[in-house]
Every structure is written in C-alpha cells, then in structure tokens.
Amino acid sequence: MALRWIEGFELFGDVIGNNNTSKSNLHFGLATKYVTAGTSTSGSDKPFIVAGRRGGFAMQFSTDNNTRFERDFGSTFNDDTIITGLAVKFADIGSSAFDFLTFHDANGQVNGLGVALNGKIKFNDTEATAAEGMLVAGAWYYIELRCRFSQTVGEYELRVNGVTVLSATGVDTLLGLPGSSPTIIRWQNKQGFTGLGAIDDIYVLDNTGASNNDFLGLDTVVEGIFPSADGDLTDWTPSSGSDHYALVDEPAFSSSDYVESDAANEKDLYQYEDLVLINGSIFGVQVNTISRVQEPNVVIDTKNLVKSGTTEEESTFLEADSESSTTYPSVHEQDPDTATPWTIASVNSAQFGVKNEN
C-alpha cells in the first residue's frame, strides 16, 4: 500500500457557514474520526464547514482557539518516509509565525510545516527561497511535502502549487531529537491566532508499492459520495423500514437510524452516488464506516466491503470495541475486479458496505 489516508471534509454535513448547525456537524464528525481539540459545538470562535477549494466542502479553522485534529497511523512509515499534500487558504499572514502541519512521535513534535512572520513557508525553521514560497492570505495553495525522517540521512522536498520551493538531503529532519520517526500527523491552528483559515483535499502516502508513492500533484481532489440504493446484499437489520441505504446515507453523522448485525458473515452492500467533481485519474477509494457496539466489554470484528463487477474485496479487521460511535476507514487503491487503478466508471458502478466477521 502507498495511499494511506485521505480527507476532504465531505462527510461532516452539507450546511456551510459560521452557524451552530455547521459547527455541531463538524464537531461530532471529527470526534468519530480523530483526536481533536478546540472543536466545541458552538461559539463564535469554533471551526465550521465552508465551500471547498474545487467544489464540495472544506474545514474553516477557528479564529480564536487552538483548533487541531490528528491521525495516529500506529506505526512508523516505510523507510521513515511520509508524503503528504493538502490545500490551505490562510486567513492571516504576517501577524505571527505559526506551524499548521506537524509530525509527532510518542514523545512529542519532531518537525513541522509553518509560515514565517515574513510570509514565507518554512520547514522546521528553514524558510523557502523560491518566489512561489511567499504566501498571501485569502488564496488557496496546494502544499506537498515528502520527508524522510532521520537525524543523519534525512531529506525532504517541499512544493507549493507544484513548484519546489525548498529541498535538502543528508540533513537532520528530527529537530536534533533522539526520538523515533513520527507516527502521528497533526493539522492545527495557533492558539489565539486566525492563521490557518481553511483546509481541504488532504492525502497521506508512504513510499511502498509501484504507484501512489510520490507527489500526487496540485490537482488532487477528495470527493465524498453517499449510498443511494440498496446493493446486492442486505443481511443486516434496519432500525426501521426496509430500505437499508436510507439509514446510512446522511451527509452528517446521526445515530437516530442505522443497520445492525449480531451474526457472523452478514453483509450489507449499497449502491452509491456518481462522482461529479473528479474528472481525471483516481488514486484510490476510502470507505468510511461509522459503527459502535451496543453493550459494554464487547468487541465486534467488522470489515469494510467493496464489490466491483463480480469480485468482492474485504478490508482488514476493524475492531469495534466502543459504545461511542467511531469511524473505521479502509483504503482501496485498485479496482478489485480488474486489479488496476479505479476509473470514474468503475467507482460509479461499484458497491460498498460492511461485513460482520464475528
């Protein structure tokens, strides 16, 4: 696997703007997926959903709070190398220096991307020298970083809108710390500072495999689609009615309706909406299932399920062990029916769902 994770803020509701509905949807959606801070459901300084860079949605960071979310990948990356991209629109540049993307091991931060007081993008404390590295507020930028984390053989390349603005080899990329290579990536705003603004279209790669092991490019777009009809398998039990898909198709997280299963090997599949934003190559599909157990001290093994043509593909085990709703994502880089990259047509015709493995 090379594609490890994507986020486009497409699954946190369709209400945009600085209002309590948007804030509440984002708060509860983030809470199912990430370690979060500063994402309360209301208040003038809380983050909310806005229009995305190229359609869809994006996350607007708070204006007066230490807002952040992070993903723990659980283990170090192959060759200690992380490749990541994200779209950002800064709200304030020049009032304060700040980091907006940081990398952590179990003991704390080992490096990060930020903006200097003079408006230049920086990696650790090294500022970009190319003209494209000078940033201004209010414009969308697509920023990509490839970094090998090491005290002795570290190397990195930083791109802004497809142009390399900073690079080095044979350097210390662990801030001189004896710590290990990072497993945690954090996206953040600075306490008490407007700084980051909006964020969208995130990807994270490692450098394994024959594809998706280097920069994906500034045209990268993450699009979210939802169930639109029942698929070929409807083994799970609906909380009401008979249409399974209608209980799991909400654009914002809701626990008021659902499907459930208490028997091994039961599967539910759903047809999905067609893609409308993506019009080029597809680097992968991420299936996101929100689930929980209904009794304490119970562990349920589930798997995300993909069906393309006549071929089914199951994800690795996803252990649901909490009574709190949790998002379980799985990445599928290839169409399982052809063992080749997904196309728009194959995504549109595929079915996605969930399997109870217990």
Cα–Cα distance, 300 to 302 (Å, whole number): 6
Of 141-155, 216-230, 247-261, 292-306, least confident by mean pLDDT is 292-306
DSSP letters, 324-344, are S-EEEEEEE-EETTTTEE--H
Report CA torsion sign: 285, 289, 290, 292. negative
Q: Extract the tokens encoding 84.
A: 């990541």
Q: Tell me how far CA of residue 304 lies from CA of 118, 161, 268, 280, in angstroms.
A: 46, 34, 10, 25
Listed in sequence order, the DSSP H helices in the chain are 20-33, 344-349
Q: Would the pLDDT of 279 be above 80?
A: yes
Q: Would the pLDDT of 27 be above 90?
A: no
Residue 341 banded pLDDT, cuts 50, 70, 90: very high
pLDDT tens per residue, range 70-109? 999 988 899 999 999 999 999 888 888 889 999 999 888 9
Tell me what pLDDT residue 157 has. Answer: 98
Residue 293 banded pLDDT, cuts 50, 70, 90: confident
Contact in structure between 338 and 276 (CB atoms under 8 Å): no
Tell me what pLDDT residue 194 has. Answer: 65
Q: Would the pLDDT of 169 be above 90?
A: yes
Of 101-115, 202-216, 285-299, 329-343, least confident by mean pLDDT is 285-299
212 versus 322: the higher-pLDDT residue is 212
Domain 227-356 has CATH 2.60.120: yes
Tell me what pLDDT residue 46 has. Answer: 78
- Whether 3-205 and 227-356 share one fold: the answer is yes
The residue written with tokens 């920086």 in the block is 122
- Considering the domain 3-205, what is its CATH architecture? Sandwich (2.60)
DSSP letters, 121-143, are EEETTEEP-SGGGB--TT-EEEE
DSSP letters, 250-300, are -SS--SSS-EE--STT-EEEEEEPPPSS--S----EEEEEEE--SSTT--E
Region for 222 from its dihedrals, namely left if φ exceeds 0, alpha if ψ lies in -120 to 50, beta otherwise: beta
Q: Would the pLDDT of 170 be above 80?
A: yes
Mean pLDDT (whole number) for 122-143:
94
pLDDT tens per residue, range 228-267? 999 999 999 999 999 999 999 998 888 889 999 989 999 9
Q: Across the chain, what does the average pLDDT equal?
A: 90
Delimit the domains of the chain by residue range.
Answer: 3-205, 227-356
